[in-house]
Amino acid sequence: MRPDIEQALCLREDLTASVLEGFLRDEVRKVGFERVVFGLSGGIDSALSAYLATRALGREQVHAVLMPYRSSSPSSLADAMEVVRDLNIPHTVVEITGPIDAYFEQMDKLLGKQASPLRRGNRMARERMVTLYDLSAAMNALVVGTSNKTELLLGYGTQFGDMASAINPIGDLYKCQVRQLSAYVGVPQSILNKAPSADLWADQTDEKELGFTYDDADEILYQWVDLRLSPDEIVERGYDESLVRHIVQRVQRNQYKRKPPIIAKLSGRTIGIDFRYLRDWGH
């Protein structure tokens, strides 16, 4: 990473943690809640959300949900449990193998073909979010998101699956910043050191699936999104043109994932177009 970009992306860890903890306290309580619930995968993003939520609200007001599938890496569950023990927070383990396998057994017969890894992975992500929102209702707790800025921009996530949440403390942190802040708040070293993976199938890693590293993505995205340089200007700085174009096109192609559903306008005031209020309007 270029030294000037690395310096620009470097966080004031104490200040950043304080802002995000205040954000969680304010946004949870202003809509009438005291508790939060979140999925804990054993990865760095959900671990950081867990540490921030616990620091912000206290360990009695957070609940971690671990949702393994039969092909999930045993180390993922072990790492998630290390977070639970370190923070001493309540947790629930919900095995999702049964509902996932039952669904695809039925659908494979109905469609006459075996589901692709993409379909299975998306279904797992949505099954986990369905579980979180059910427990949200049961526990009267808001769902905390675990998607970082790099993933959200690239669309590297499942719409209405892992990209869904009521509140997201890490969605404006690039992946390199997630790593930096995670080290500061005390995320276990085993999580900090391992390759990022959605763990949707055996031997999956994020960077292998994306075709480029998170550091490469962060460096290009920061210049395009935050510095507002054009793709041509970024290429002129010495970056690979095909990679720059690919990343920019991926962000553009996945814009729909970052927006609420489009409503056809018929009336004078349409939700999301003319009828627009803050999330906490009325509280």
Annotated binding site for deamido-NAD(+): 126
Task: Quote the CA–CA distance of 10 and 13 in Å, as a whole number.
Answer: 9
Which residues are annotated as part of the binding site for Mg(2+)? 45, 151
Task: Quote the CA–CA distance of 83 and 105 in Å, as a whole number.
Answer: 34
Which residues are annotated as part of the binding site for ATP? 39-46, 146, 175, 197
Q: How far is CA 48 from CA 94, 154, 241, 251, in A?
A: 21, 20, 33, 24
CB-count burial class (<10 Å; 0-12, 13-18, 19+) for 13 = middle
Whether the CB-CB separation of 61 and 36 falls below 8 Å is answered with yes
Which residues are annotated as part of the binding site? 39-46, 126, 146, 151, 175, 197
Beta-ladder partners of 65: 39, 92
